[in-house]
Chain A
Amino acid sequence: DAKTTQPPSMDCAEGRAANLPCNHSTISGNEYVYWYRQIHSQGPQYIIHGLKNNETNEMASLIITEDRKSSTLILPHATLRDTAVYYCIVRANLNTNAGKSTFGDGTTLTVKP
């Protein structure tokens, strides 16, 4: 599975959009981009995933560049409860080692009042 690079920390004002970048320059054609977050003292929570098209759900939007070497997770209206560590991982679906992807250090997002 491809490795990812994320900034260690970011701040965002409450109510504003939070844009979290992720670089995955060695991503393979069959690998998806997944985003998870971990709120303090809780288990990681799935947010969104995509292959090459932009995706949106009730939690966030995922923008993947055309060359698929980077992506951005967008939380459109960040709240204090969005303060968490955000992990970007890439892995192939239908893969027997699906869970083997290393989560990395992630980005600690702090939403401030």
Chain B
Amino acid sequence: DTAVSQTPKYLVTQMGNDKSIKCEQNLGHDTMYWYKQDSKKFLKIMFSYNNKELIINETVPNRFSPKSPDKAHLNLHINSLELGDSAVYFCASSQHSGNTIYFGEGSWLTVV
């Protein structure tokens, strides 16, 4: 059973398009995250939701909009994609009080 699953795994799209990446966790965690890993392999947090409420919002263009319909899901929608958005996006989750973070396998986004 995959604990944190995200789709699609690979996505190639043109500049200016709007795309979404979906994430689901079956660990019963109350906190979910989106991280971005660029070509330099630096892993940076973008957003964090706790019980469907936004608790971390790093300096991210407002073209990126997370949506958490329930505790088990955190989707990432990206408008007007740019070349610089090409990266691997990781979804993750943790139990708020436990703080061990479990990551998904990543979504490779390539903007052409």
Interface membership of chain B positions 12-47, coded 1 if the CB is closer than 8 angstroms to chain A and 0 otherwise: 000000000000000000010100000001111100
Give the distance in Å from the alpha carbon of A109 to the alpha carbon of B45 in the complex. Answer: 24
CA A87 to CA B90, docked complex, whole Å: 16
What interface size band does chain B fall in? Answer: 20 to 34
With CB as the reference atom, state the residue of chain B lying closest to A96.
B55
- Nearest chain B CB to A102 CB, angstrom units: 7
Q: Which of B42, B92, B100, B106 contacts A42 (CB 8 A)?
A: B106
Asked if residues B101 and A46 are in contact (CB atoms below 8 Å), the reply is yes
Instruction: Give every chain B residue within 8 A of A44 (Cβ-Cβ).
Output: 43, 90, 92, 101, 103
Contacts of A36 in B (CB 8 A): 101
A98-B101 contact in complex given A44-B90, A105-B42, C-beta closer than 8 Å: yes
Check if B66 is an interface residue, CB within 8 A of chain A. no
One digit per residue, 1 when the CB lies within 8 angstroms of any chain B CB and 0 when it does not, for chain A 61-97 equals: 0000000000000000000000001010001011111
* Cα–Cα, bound, A91→B85 (Å): 28
Measured CB to CB, the closest approach of chain B to A18, in angstroms, equals: 20
Min CB distance B60 to A, Å, is 13
Q: Are B103 and A99 in contact (CB under 8 A)?
A: no
Beta-carbon nearest neighbor of B95 in chain A: A98
Among A43, A49, A100, A106, residue most surrounded by chain B Cβ atoms (within 10 Å): A43
Q: Is the CB of A45 within 8 A of B92?
A: no
| Partner-A contacts on B (CB < 8 A) | 4, 31, 33, 41-45, 48, 50, 55-56, 58, 90, 92, 94, 96-106
Q: List 22 A-B contacts (CB under 8 A).
A: A42-B106, A43-B106, A44-B90, A44-B101, A46-B101, A46-B102, A85-B41, A87-B43, A91-B99, A93-B98, A94-B97, A94-B99, A97-B55, A98-B94, A98-B101, A99-B33, A99-B56, A100-B48, A102-B45, A103-B43, A103-B44, A106-B41
Q: A42-B105, A94-B99 are in contact. List 4 more A-B contacts (CB 8 A).
A: A44-B101, A98-B96, A99-B56, A100-B56
